[in-house]
Structure 1
Amino acid sequence: MLMFTWSYILILLIMTLMIFIKFNKHILLILMSLEFFVVVMFYVWLIYFSVLDVNQFISLYYLIFSVNESVLGLTIMIIVMRSEVWDYLNSMNLIKW
Structure 2
Amino acid sequence: MSEEIREITPEQLEQDLDSGKYEVVDVREDEEVAGGMIPGAKHVVLGSIPERLDEFDQNKEYVMVCRSGRRSYNASQYLQENGYNVHNLKGGMLEWKGDVIA
Alignment TM-score, normalising by the size of structure 1: 0.25
Alignment TM-score, normalising by the size of structure 2: 0.24
Higher strand share: 2
Higher helix share: 1
Specify the structure having the higher radius of gyration (Cα): 1
